[in-house]
Structure 1
Amino acid sequence: MTLKNRFNGLVDRAKQGQDHLEAAQDKAKADLQQDVDAAKAKAKAHHENVEAKVDAAEDNASSAWSDLKDSWNTHVSKVKSDFSAKEAKLDAKLAAQEADLAESDASYAIDVALSAIEEAEDAVVYAIYARKYPDDLV
């Protein structure tokens, strides 16, 4: 699979996410809980897959990407830990505060994803450029 095709996969996945979020607006709480559980399982599986790829390619990756990976893993662990601890204690008064925190975390995740997409685009363009450079030397 080419880098361009993989990047296009980001666009497709973002569209799927948008469609899923629009549909979630009309779902009942129980259905949303199932979606949350499924999303957690899917995110965990994807995370493990990415970890395996990153570990395999880490020798070739820049330290900045490794630092970003470590930082993101720390953030994800903290958010999951905090959410799990708080989820058990929620009451009506704290529900709004928890929703605010969840929205803040979601906003941060979106910002990180957008930044990652921009970095991915830049990396793909550079890879295309770097691949063409040797061709000019021949």
Structure 2
Amino acid sequence: MSIFCLQGTFIEGISHRSFAEALSGCLSIGSVYVIREFAMCDPQASFRACNFHRYLVITPATKLEDVTASSIDFTTKSFQFTQFNSLPARSYRCSYLTDVVGRLVSISQPEYVEVKGGITTVQKVTIKDH
């Protein structure tokens, strides 16, 4: 679950299995919530959907207040731009999932390579920033 924070950035949130069903019934995509009394923890996953060093954890004490219908004006979209030439520095690190806007230059034919005793398909995609 991604939680939209008021500062205009994203943070990943997790809930324990026992709360997942209850949350799915009370949360609505596109709605805005004030989240109170939550916990924070270090991320466990090697791939994260956003560049953040902690997870928001929903606990039994957490309170969610839907403020979608309030008169407060909230931003509905958020972008964090990264320089195109900084992408190689993300290689072989704890990776963040990254979106790219660029011009597609070429796509290679699929190649079959052996990885860890199995066969996988690799295709080279070339994208330019302008």
Does the alignment reach a TM-score above 0.5? no
TM-score (norm: length of structure 1): 0.20
**Which has the bigger relative contact order, CA under 8 A and spacing at least 6?**
1
Give the number of the structure whose residues are more often helix, by fraction.
Answer: 1
Query: What is the TM-score when the length of structure 2 is the normalising length?
Result: 0.21
Q: Which of the pair is proportionally richer in strand? A: 2
